[in-house]
Amino acid sequence: RKRNPGQPEFCQAVQEVSEDIFDFIEDKEAYHSQQILRRIAEPDRIISFRVCWEDDAGNIRVQRGWRVQNNNAIGPYKGGIRFHPSVTESVLKFLAFEQTFKNALTGLPMGGGKGGANFNPKGKSDREVMRFCQSFMTELYRHVGADVDVPAGDIGVGAREIGYMFGQYKRITNQFTGVLTGKGLEYGGSLIRPEATGYGATYFLQNMLATRGRDLTGLNAVISGSGNVATHAAEKVTQLGGKVLTLSDSAGFIHDPDGIDLEKIDWVKHHKTHTRGRISDYVAQYPRASFTAGKTPWGVPCDVALPCATQNELLGDDARALVANGCFAVSEGANMPTDLAGVHVFKDARILFAPGKAANAGGVAVSGLEMSQNSERRSWKEAELQQLLLDIMAGIHESCLRYGRVSDDYVDYVKGANIAGFKKVADAMLAYGVV
Ligand code: NDP
């Protein structure tokens, strides 16, 4: 904390990982003497830059952009770009740190990075968003590249923003390379990339349930968020026989006692992506549902929960409420949605709890497959990609079991994911010597 003053999210992420890694490295001299954990917790570099753009009224606006290149021991830096007013250097450092372990867990050759800006796309016209994205890429282009650093989408950055940024990169460099993932299918994108994070988090949940002889059939699910990850998690939970009761956004949550079926999920997707509307509008469309302003959905009784909105949206008290109401499995679609107090509640209750770095790795995994397709200059078939996603999520689950099994009937998935991700990156760093 002394080393990173004013960066609570980053310190929180490093603390969580360190708690697990200390035990593991205790008797492993090389990791100690080579200061591997300290080196991973110091980004390779942080680029911070001005993003200047003109709004529709002709005002000049000045925002701050960043790219945090955390670690490229096992592959080019890889991680999303976030546009949200809550973006700070601390948030991006925590995300880049987590991304390093997550990418290692996928088994694909990708290092960890993250970027973004404190820009709020909400309420902006398409042309304003385009001008912002072009200005952002006008600086970022010199720091990224298909073999250097390959950004993707994240909160506030979807297909529209990726299209504007890729177009600007291509214009400046005169190169058509796989420098961004999450691209449109017409220009190098991969099938199932939009679905991959939410589907992957649900597959991970399924793998965890199977260890207790269960599946999703007939289970009630509480989901937060209503963006890319949340809607696709809701879709897969429903397809696998579960009933989704809630969705949310930063203004509050909706609770639909009839279940948010596939038709309703399609309505939400369209409403959020095309109309750019709010989740509260759901109630006018489906009057049996209710909207609760300013609250998260964790008080709604459920069997399983998937936090899919943002960091620190599920606190200690929320975790206690979930457990008290009978929730026995949590799969994090978002990055670090559960705070440290909440994580300890889940661990103490010995419920099935998958941290984001394991459960939401399906998105970056398919991004890695998009990079491979771009390098080969061909597109793989949907069935092939679906199978790879299933296999990769099962592989991550296996890694968590290997390093996280505490007893015959309990697996600490947080510990398992931290150790498995750390070991791969750390061993590569050891091979390089002191660099
Ligand atoms: P979207 O922008 O598509 O959706 C984000 C959702 O979270 C929206 O419903 C948004 O509501 C809500 N949200 C954002 N910030 C807050 C906040 N401060 N408080 C409450 N709600 C908030 O993003 P994604 O679905 O892509 O990302 C969601 C999470 O998943 C993030 O943690 C992201 O890092 C993580 N993730 C995403 C991946 C991907 O492939 N997209 C891959 C791996 C992880 P509102 O509209 O009101 O802001």
Q: Report the nearest-CA residue for atom 2 of ligand 1.
A: 155
Q: Does residue 325 share a domain with residue 258? A: yes
13-71 pLDDT tens trace = 999 999 999 989 989 999 988 999 999 999 999 999 999 999 999 999 999 999 999 99
| Cα–Cα nearest to 358, from 94, 13, 102, 100 | 102
Radius of gyration of the chain (CA): 21
Residues 6+ apart with CB under 8 A from 2: none
User: Is 78 known to be catalytic?
Assistant: no
Q: With 90 as the cut, is the pLDDT of residue 135 above it?
A: yes
In this predicted structure, what is the pLDDT of residue 2? 85
Position 301 confidence tier, pLDDT thresholds 50, 70, 90: very high
Same domain, yes or no: 94 and 202: no
80 beta partners: 152
Split at pLDDT 50, 70, 90, the class of 276 is: confident
User: How many A from CA of 227 to the centre of ligand 1?
Assistant: 6
Alpha-carbon distance of 422 to 36, in angstroms, equals 9
What's the pLDDT at 419? 97
Q: Is residue 255 part of a domain?
A: yes
Residue 124 and residue 94 in one domain: yes
Q: 80-95, pLDDT tens digit by residue?
A: 999 999 999 999 999 9
Q: Name the domain count of the chain.
A: 2
Is there a contact between 297 and 213 (Cβ–Cβ < 8 Å)?
no
- Residue 171 resides in a domain: yes
Whether residues 214 and 351 fall in one domain: yes
Confidence of residue 159 (pLDDT cuts 50, 70, 90): very high
Give the CATH number, domain containing residue 276: 3.40.50.720
Q: Are residues 158 and 246 located together in one domain of the fold?
A: no
| Ligand 1 centroid, distance to 296 Cα (angstroms) | 14
| pLDDT at residue 49, rounded to an integer | 98
- DSSP E strands in 112-185: the ranges are 112-117, 149-152
Residue 130 pLDDT grade (very low, low, confident, very high; cuts 50, 70, 90)? very high
CA of 331 to the centre of ligand 1 (A): 15
**Helix 89-105, helix 413-432: angle, nearest 10:** 90
As for ligand 1, residues whose beta carbon falls within 6 Å of it are 84, 86, 153-156, 197, 225-230, 249-251, 308-310, 313, 333-335, 360, 363
Q: For ligand 1, atom 13, which residue shows the shortest CA distance? A: 309
Residue 328, domain member (yes or no): yes
Order of strands, sheet of 77-83, starting from the edge strand that comes earlier in the sequence:
45-54, 60-71, 112-117, 77-83, 149-152
Contact 323, 387 (CB under 8 A): no
Whether pLDDT at 198 is above 90? yes
Domain boundary among 173, 189, 205: 189
Tell me if 180 sits within 8 A of 150, measured CB to CB: yes
Q: Does residue 252 share a domain with residue 141?
A: no
* CATH number where 129 lies: 3.40.50.10860
Q: Residue 32 Cα, ligand 1 centroid: separation in angstroms?
A: 36
Q: Residue 267's pLDDT band (boundaries 50, 70, 90)? A: very high
Q: Is 282 helix (H, G, I), strand (E, B) or coil?
A: helix
Atom of ligand 1 lying closest to residue 86 CA: 18
Question: Can you tell me which atom of ligand 1 is nearest the CA of 249?
Answer: 11
Q: Strand pairing partners for 65?
A: 49, 117
Backbone angles phi, psi at 356, to 5 degrees: -55, -40
Q: Are 312 and 336 in contact (CB under 8 A)?
A: yes
Q: Of 28-32, 86-90, 199-203, 395-399, give the lowest mean pLDDT range.
A: 28-32
Beta 60-71 vs 149-152: how paired, if at all? unpaired
pLDDT tens profile 333-379: 999 999 999 999 999 999 999 999 999 999 999 999 999 999 999 99
9 occurs within a structural domain: no
pLDDT band at 316 (very low <50, low <70, confident <90, very high): very high
Please state, for a pLDDT cut of 90, what percent of the chain lies above it.
96
For residue 273, pLDDT over 90 is answered with no
Final residue in a domain of this structure, among 304, 336, 359: 359
pLDDT value for 111: 98
Which pLDDT value is given to residue 274? 84
Specify the pLDDT at position 169: 98
Q: What is the pLDDT of residue 23?
A: 87
Q: Summarize pLDDT for 219-247 with one digit per residue, the tens.
A: 999 999 999 999 999 999 999 999 999 99
Give the closest residue to 225 by CA, choosing from 297, 169, 165, 170: 297
Domain boundary among 189, 216, 238: 189
Q: What's residue 147's pLDDT?
A: 97
Do the domain assignments include residue 172? yes
Chain centroid offset of residue 18 CA:
20
pLDDT exceeds cutoff 90 at 1: no
Query: Same domain for 176 and 290?
Result: no
Tell if the pTM clears 0.90, that is, is over it: yes
Query: Which domain, by its residues, includes 56?
Result: 43-189
